[in-house]
Structure 1
């Protein structure tokens, strides 16, 4: 008995040591809603229909799928404050009426028993605008205005890269740039601003620009944001200033996403 007790104590000590051993902050990919990059890779964000899981929000789904949250709301007849539920089936891409009816049945719910499990609670200014303004834009938003091809990519800042892209599970899903407070941040390509705000944990003040039906770019940890949602911007336009929101140092975290998946921005940016 004493031997078994000793082994039990040793096991508990080792477990506590392992849990306390990680001192570095968690990477951005696993900060939001407790999901890791591997969880995201396994999810069906690239399909036309997505089943809502516990911890999802309409914005997190739009970010991972590479879609504008207004479009997803419009496709599924979701109104502010954008409540969604576990088990709800959402149309992520525009489909024919027959497919939408078959997948959503007019409600977007898979069963009545889950209708009271809200996972996307209202958050004041979570999307950077009032509900009244967003409600109007949900009706008028359209993805048909985007070009099929991006003609030019520009660097989002003149500063040098301090941390590169990594496709490993806990790797950096973009490029990090060190800089000084207030340094200009530029749109990497022409497009429409689809999000401004700080609702995505780990990114601080964030700007997301949609360039085509496939490409998004994101600019995180800003000090000030100089553009508004639904505003069209040109390549090289100043859209924000560098800061340390959601970070302990002044920097820009820059991401490019293709069909919802993180890709190395150096594949598209011109050589310096």
Structure 2
């Protein structure tokens, strides 16, 4: 430690002895100081000395005068009034594949006779039978958008209605005053509430026939004892069959011309081929609000209004069902309110 202190003091002494006692530059003014370069005071050579700035008195210019003269010209044209464009209501563009909006031209329809709704009737069935658009029936009777009807209701028909006499969903008697064509057959009057009308001797069954449902809405929803209309293979079952289609019954294959029997006792309410896609069809009304439908027959052996017993032949197996072999289409329906609801026949037929 002592040696370090001695070394530090020695270095300080050397530094102080080497510092100059006087400055190395002159601290007195020299001649020519303040002159810019080698040229004499006043600027660059051949440059005249600056002259003092003199200002002249300001004089404003004389006022300008506008030219005076006559101007030739005519009157201004009348103002052009621009009418605003008429605003048209916006109509959205319609796809070329979409149907045009419906247009309904109101027409005057004279009211005519009244038809009494029967159990199982539908407004579309009444329209088909009397050759009247459903909308016309709705308008004449104020039925509302759904066209709801009830059993016993009187439906006003147009004065020009024609009773074709053939529809399974309009089975009431023909109103007085409605035109019935010569080739049309009006349905018989409904049976009395006590039961069926008398059967012909050759078709009278040995056992009593259960009464057919009267005009009053059915109250019983009990199952009915049915038998197979024809024995054979079930080619199509009840329910959806793809592509948005539905089978409301079953298709039964059998030999062409084989006998088709009534599944239960009842009254024939329709015989014809007017139903689209059903071929020759027989419809029978049974007790308890039940109906059976036999479609795509080869022939029919009964007519409208016939009373039949269970097992009685009503027709033969046909070829129009599209099953690739002879067959019939068989449906079982039960009235629920005013709607004949399709029921799977396999749930009510014997195994």
Q: TM-score range by the shorter chain?
A: 0.5 to 0.7
TM-score (structure 2 length as normaliser): 0.44
CA contact (8 A) 2:187 2:305 kept: no
Map of 1:262 onto structure 2: 342
Map residues 191-202 of structure 1 onto 2, 5 A cutoff: 191-202=266-277
**Cα 1:79/1:235, change in 2 over 3 Å:** same
Offset, 1:175: 0.9
Taking the aligned partners of 1:246 and 1:160, their CA distance within structure 2 comes to 14
State which of 135, 139, 148 in structure 1 corresponds to 2:186.
Answer: 135
The runs of 5 or more residues in structure 2 that have no matched partner are: 1-95, 98-116, 169-179, 196-211, 214-219
The count of aligned residue pairs is: 184
Taking the aligned partners of 1:173 and 1:183, their CA distance within structure 2 comes to 23
State which of 301, 316, 319 in structure 2 corresponds to 1:241.
Answer: 316
Map of 1:186 onto structure 2: 261
Residues 1:203 and 2:278 are matched in the alignment = yes
Offset, 1:163: 1.6
CA contact (8 A) 1:221 1:245 kept: yes
Residues 1:159 and 2:232 are matched in the alignment = yes
Offset, 1:131: 4.5
CA contact (8 A) 1:150 1:189 kept: no
Taking the aligned partners of 2:148 and 2:302, their CA distance within structure 1 comes to 28
Map of 1:212 onto structure 2: 287
**Mean CA deviation greater in 165-174 or 181-190:** 165-174
Instruction: Report the 3-state secondary structure (helix = DSSP H, G, I; strand = E; otherwise coil) of the residue aligned with 1:171.
Output: strand
Instruction: Report the 3-state secondary structure (helix = DSSP H, G, I; strand = E; otherwise coil) of the residue aligned with 1:154.
Output: coil
Q: Deviation digits for residues 93-122 of structure 1, max 9, x if unmatched? A: 433xxxx47xx5xx358xxxxx99x9xx88
Instruction: Report the 3-state secondary structure (helix = DSSP H, G, I; strand = E; otherwise coil) of the residue aligned with 2:245.
Output: coil
Larger radius of gyration: 2
Offset, 1:224: 0.6
Map of 2:38 onto structure 1: none
Map of 1:172 onto structure 2: 247
Q: Deviation digits for residues 34-61 of structure 1, max 9, x if unmatched? A: xxxxxxxxxxxxxxxxxxxxxxxxxxxx
TM-score (structure 1 length as normaliser): 0.55
RMSD: 3.9
| Greater relative contact order (CA < 8 Å, ≥ 6 in sequence) | 1
Offset, 1:85: 3.6
Instruction: Report the 3-state secondary structure (helix = DSSP H, G, I; strand = E; otherwise coil) of the residue aligned with 1:135.
Output: coil
State which of 41, 64, 86 in structure 1 corresponds to 2:135.
Answer: 86
Instruction: Report the 3-state secondary structure (helix = DSSP H, G, I; strand = E; otherwise coil) of the residue aligned with 1:86.
Output: helix
Taking the aligned partners of 1:122 and 1:93, their CA distance within structure 2 comes to 21
Taking the aligned partners of 1:224 and 1:249, their CA distance within structure 2 comes to 16
- Structure number having the greater helix percentage: 1
Instruction: Report the 3-state secondary structure (helix = DSSP H, G, I; strand = E; otherwise coil) of the residue aligned with 1:207.
Output: strand
The runs of 5 or more residues in structure 1 that have no matched partner are: 1-11, 16-61, 110-114
Offset, 1:160: 2.0
Instruction: Report the 3-state secondary structure (helix = DSSP H, G, I; strand = E; otherwise coil) of the residue aligned with 2:296.
Output: strand
